[in-house]
Structure 1
């Protein structure tokens, strides 16, 4: 019989392979880079196969490592789902989630039925606010935040990067709208103070020699609604406009993406293992963005 590596070592392997980085695995697990390397080496010695190789400054999975990752990730997800179901199946449970209003309305809300289908006994309490939640005083279990991934005392998992591009309603200006970026400055531009038009123009190489003016919306959700209503051209965030582009409420005016320096992170207190509903929500979120397969018994 094959002696299996310790479960903790397999958990370290799963995180390192998912990120393609020992350093990011160490950050997620709150252990040292050396501890990650030691756990991986422990598995490699046990199975006699090299699982990672160095590429530049990164340690990436070998073909054998990638194959093992697929099986290990599924197995760990099944174990998590089994224990989550066991701990919370006898009574209704609740998880409180904090996120920006625009992400709540346009990213989370359309996906919630899938979570409810997998976890019908877990009720989601959505707290949407532009201010960062205090996990203790606000009684928040997990949060979705846009930033660099550094929040003191909290554990952050990168979910997705963010890009912006110009969009408008197909009804804007009677359907007569330009796709020439250099001409956008002469259009009715809708402004998000947090994502200035100058950022996108600069990334496209368009030189603007005058101040960009227009209706300004501090709430990104209102910005999108104004664009859908035909009030002007807006810089759209990929994460929250996908559905509106697919259903034709918005049209994209340029194929050029401008990558923002911030990403979306799933954030929670370091110790989450004692909170079964929060663990279930975390694993579901990772599955939604394709980082981990979801297995629910």
Structure 2
């Protein structure tokens, strides 16, 4: 099967740069030549990959999916080429994690791992898509779920506590009873393992049939919405640790029930544990979790 390798390479450069002109400068060709190669690839694939946005470009849904599928392979080819040319070999650690964990928990801590391991390069793939380790070059994944994946090494990241939160200007700490909660707009992350109906059932409270809601498909969006004063969110202490520490989110409910789960899991094939880079990362994760637990913002539960 014919593969338009030049066009694929040009698309990769433009998608990574987010700009036709930047890709042209990197490839030492004209912007027109870059556009022609991308158009050629779109014709070959039978779908649009990019659209112009201001002075740059943005990927379509098909473009994002295609880029995510080819990026790792092109990076591997680039790494292999540099190695053969005698340049300093680079050890790449590819980590996949959910978007919320990536942005809210991993990214603020990642510098310490990079500083401790200067010979490693890290590729952090923030997605909810489950890794197929037989086809994808992912070293280790932090997967959202219940920890039941036969045939894979699985280790819970941390125990998380779930409780309602809001902006302190929206309501004062411990200023609401459970019966007051349905009077407010309820922010919900549709993929969260702890939802409002379950929270009400644990409280032995039956809410009205009609409640105001706003739904998000990412927990980090629900957390940010609560911090922006939209309403009450039911979220995880692991994901909103920074907002709790800084006081941009508080628990407005008196004596909320203790609801804890482990929803994030370190996952990889057992043979990946023989890789030094994987062991370094897992050991670092364990240490960071221990630090987070030791510095835990006081939880809004009464004994």
SS of alignment partner, residue 187 of structure 2: coil
Write out aligned runs for 1:126-141 (5 A): 126-141=124-139
Matched, 1:279 2:276: no
Identify the match of residue 167 of structure 1 among 165, 168, 174: 165
Paired residues of 1:158 and 1:265 also in contact (CA < 8 A)? yes
Q: Which segments of 5 or more consecutive residues in structure 1 lack a partner in the other structure?
A: 1-89, 292-297
Question: Can you list the C-alpha shifts for 1:174-215, whole angstroms capped at 9, x where unaligned?
Answer: x79942221010012112223321111221222224243311
Structure 2 partner of 1:233: 232
Q: Go from structure 1 to structure 2 and tell me whether the alpha carbon gap of 1:209 and 1:229 turns closer, same or farther (over 3 Å shift).
A: closer
Matched, 1:147 2:157: no
If asked which structure has higher relative contact order (CA below 8 Å, sep 6+), I would say 1
Could you tell me how far apart the structure 1 residues matched to 2:156 and 2:262 are? 10
Question: Can you list the C-alpha shifts for 1:117-156, whole angstroms capped at 9, x where unaligned?
Answer: 2112212110111221222323111111232222132110
Paired residues of 1:159 and 1:289 also in contact (CA < 8 A)? yes
SS of alignment partner, residue 212 of structure 2: coil
State the shift of 1:261 in Å: 5.0
Q: Go from structure 1 to structure 2 and tell me whether the alpha carbon gap of 1:146 and 1:258 turns closer, same or farther (over 3 Å shift).
A: farther
Identify the match of residue 118 of structure 1 among 116, 119, 132: 116
Could you tell me how far apart the structure 2 residues matched to 1:148 and 1:177 are? 31
Could you tell me how far apart the structure 2 residues matched to 1:176 and 1:231 are? 16
What's the RMSD between the two structures over aligned residues? 2.3
Identify the match of residue 182 of structure 2 among 185, 188, 191: 185
SS of alignment partner, residue 283 of structure 1: helix
TM-score, length of structure 1 as denominator length: 0.62
Could you tell me how far apart the structure 1 residues matched to 2:108 and 2:173 are? 31
Matched, 1:221 2:220: yes
State the shift of 1:260 in Å: 4.8
Q: Which segments of 5 or more consecutive residues in structure 2 lack a partner in the other structure?
A: 1-87, 292-303
**Aligned residue-pair number:** 201
State the shift of 1:95 in Å: 0.9
SS of alignment partner, residue 279 of structure 2: helix
TM-score, length of structure 2 as denominator length: 0.61
State the shift of 1:217 in Å: 0.8
Could you tell me how far apart the structure 1 residues matched to 2:142 and 2:267 are? 6
